[in-house]
Amino acid sequence: MDFEAFSRLLDRARDHAGDYLRSVRDRRVYPDDAALAGLQAFDGPLPRQGLDPHAMLDMLQRYGAPAAVATGGGRYFGFVNGGLHPPALAARWLADAWDQNAAFHVMSPVAAKLEEVCERWLAELLDLPEGTAAGLVGGTSTSLVCGFAAARNALLQRQGWDVAAKGLFGAPEITVVLGAQAHGAVYRALALLGLGRERVVTVPCDDQGRMRVDKLPPLDDRTLLILAAGNVNSGAFDLFTPLCERAKAAGAWVHVDGAFGLWAAAAPSTRALCDGMALADSWSVDAHKTLNVPYDSGIVLCRDRRALVDALQTSGAYLEWSGQRESMLYTPDMSRRARGIDLWATLATLGRDGVADLIEQLCTGARQIADLLRAEGFHILNDVVFNQVLVACGSAEETEATLKVLQSSGEIWCGGSQWDGKPVIRISVCGVETTPEDLARAAAAFARARQSVAGVPA
C-alpha cells in the first residue's frame, strides 16, 4: 500500500471515529438486541483473499460501532471504567503512527524520555518519595503482580534467599496480610506468584470496608501487608498512617492497591484520605480509571528502584543497554507499545490543577447522584468519600429487579455487587464527560426503573 492509499485509509478511519464520537452522548449506553445480533456478521470464515481495507473499516463501522458500549458518553457508571481525555487519544493516534517499541532507549529515545518524565511527575503529583520508580503496564492487575514480585523477592532476599535463582522450593515462608474486602485481582496476583490465595491472613473490616487497625495481627520482616486506597465497592480508604507505622516498625513490606483511589492524593479535598500512604513500599494504580487516559495504562510504583528491577529484569546477549532509562527493567514486558506517550499527554495538558479539578469533578458528581437518589427514596449505604456510591431499594429482590431494568434500558448502565451479604447497585462516577445533567438523567432513570418493578406507571 503506497502512502496516498494509506493516507486515504486513515482518513476513512478518522471519519468513522468522528461519526461515533459525535453521536456517543445520544446513543444508548448499552447496545440493544438488534445491535448485538448484528455482531453475527463477523462470524464468517477467514477470507481466502482478504477484505478490501476500506470495506473492512466500513464493516467495523456498520456492525461494530452499534454494539460498542458508550462508556465515553457521560451516562456509564460501571466497573470504575473511566472515560477518554481527548488530547490523550490524539497523542495515542500519533504514537501509534510512530509505532515505537518502548522496551529500550535505543529502540525509542522519545518513549524512554516521556516515561522518565512521567515517573517524576507521578511521584510529585501523588506525594510519593523522591526517586520512586514507575513501570507502565497494561492495567492494575499486572501492576499488582509487579509490586508483589518486588515485595516477595526483597523480603526473601533479607532472609538470605535469592528467589530469582532458587525459586520458591524450600524458601522461607512469607506471610501475606490483607483486608477481608481486598479486590479479587489481589488474590489472582498472589496466586500467580506462588504466594497462595488460601494462605493469606485476612483482617476484619469496618462498616465502610476499611481494614480495622485494632485487628491487625503481629507483623514481622517476612510479612507483606496489602492495603487499599479505595474500596472497590464503597471507595473507602484504609487508615494508612497507623497501619504503615506498625508495618515499618516490624520490617514488613507494605503495598497499596490504589487502582482508582491513588489519585485522591492529587486533589485538595481528598488528599487527607491518603495521609500516611507515602510510608508504603509500593503502589499500584490505573491511569484509565479516574485520570481518563486511554486503556492499557496501568502503573506500578516502587520506593526501592533496585527491588523492582531485580524482580523483573532479564538478560540476553543481543540486548543493548544505553545507560539511559531502559523501560523494560520496570515491567514484565519486553516488546510493548509506548504507553508513556498518552500518559504524558494527559498529565501535560491537564497539569497539576487540571488533575485536581478532574478528581474534584468526579467526587462532586458522586455526592450529587447520592443526594438525588436519596431524594427519590433510595438507600445510600456508604459514606461517599470518593467516586463510589452504593444504592439499595427496600428489599434485595427490588434492588436486583431495578438493576436489571436499568441495565436493559439503554439510558444508563451501572453494575451490581454485594454489600453486607445483600445485593446492591454500584455507581462509579469516573468519566470526564459526565455532567450534572447526566446525573439528573441517571437519577430519573433509577426512579423509573423502580416504579416499573413496583408496577407503578412512570
Co-location of 21 and 125 in the same domain: no
Question: Using CA atoms, how far apart are residues 319 and 362, in angstroms rounded to an integer?
Answer: 44
Number of domains in the chain: 2
- 103 and 250, same domain (yes or no): yes
What does the pLDDT read at residue 456? 54
End position of a domain, from candidates 347, 380, 405: 347
Asked whether residue 80 is domain-assigned, the answer is: no
Q: Is residue 280 part of a domain?
A: yes
**Alpha carbon distance 25, 117 (integer Å):** 34
What's the average model confidence in pLDDT over 429-439? 97
My answer on whether 154 and 230 are in the same domain is yes
Range of the domain at 43: 3-70
Q: What is the pLDDT of residue 121?
A: 98
Query: 393 in a domain, yes or no?
Result: no
Reference 307, options 154, 131, 146; nearest CA is 154
Q: Are residues 122 and 270 in the same domain?
A: yes
Q: What is the pLDDT of residue 322?
A: 82
Task: Kindly state whether residue 398 falls inside one of the protein's structural domains.
Answer: no
281-328 pLDDT, tens per residue?
999 999 999 999 999 999 999 999 999 999 998 766 667 788 889 999
Cα 267 to chain centroid, rounded: 18
Q: Which of 347, 375, 408 is the last residue of a domain?
A: 347
Residue 71 in this model has a pLDDT that exceeds 90: yes
| pLDDT tens digits for range 111-161 | 999 999 999 999 999 999 999 999 999 999 999 999 999 999 999 999 999
Whether residue 371 lies inside any domain: the answer is no
pLDDT (tens digit, 9 = 90+) per residue, 229-265? 999 999 999 999 999 999 999 999 999 999 999 999 9
pLDDT (0 to 100) of residue 197: 87
Query: What is the CATH number for 281?
Result: 3.40.640.10
Question: 200 and 140: one domain?
Answer: yes
Same domain for 156 and 121? yes
Q: Are residues 161 and 100 in the same domain?
A: yes
128 grid coordinates: 510519593
| Residue among 366, 368, 348, 350 nearest 358 (CA) | 350
Burial (CB < 10 A; 0-12, 13-18, 19+), residue 165, is exposed
DSSP 141-167: HHHHHHHHHHHHHHHHHHTT--HHHH-
Please check whether residues 113 and 58 belong to one and the same domain: no
Q: Are residues 40 and 136 in the same domain?
A: no
Residue 287 sits in the same domain as residue 218:
yes
In which region does residue 255 sit, left (phi positive, over 0), alpha (psi from -120 to 50) or beta (all else)?
A: beta
Q: Is residue 391 a part of any domain in this protein?
A: no
In a domain? residue 231: yes
3-state secondary structure of 70: coil
CA distance linking residue 137 with residue 145, whole number of Å: 10
Amino acid at 456: V
Domain boundary among 300, 326, 347: 347
Instruction: Using DSSP bridges, classify how beta strands 76-77 and 253-257 pair: parallel, antiparallel or unpaired.
Output: unpaired
Which pLDDT value is given to residue 82?
92
Task: Tell me if the pTM is above 0.85.
Answer: yes
Residues 222 and 274 in one domain: yes
Measured from the Cβ of residue 401, the count of other Cβ atoms closer than 10 Å reads 18
pLDDT band at 458 (very low <50, low <70, confident <90, very high): very low
β-bridge mates for residue 301, sequence order: 134, 283
Q: Is residue 414 domain-resident?
A: no
Q: Are residues 61 and 158 in the same domain?
A: no
pLDDT band at 404 (very low <50, low <70, confident <90, very high): very high
Q: Are 199 and 176 in contact (CB under 8 A)?
A: yes
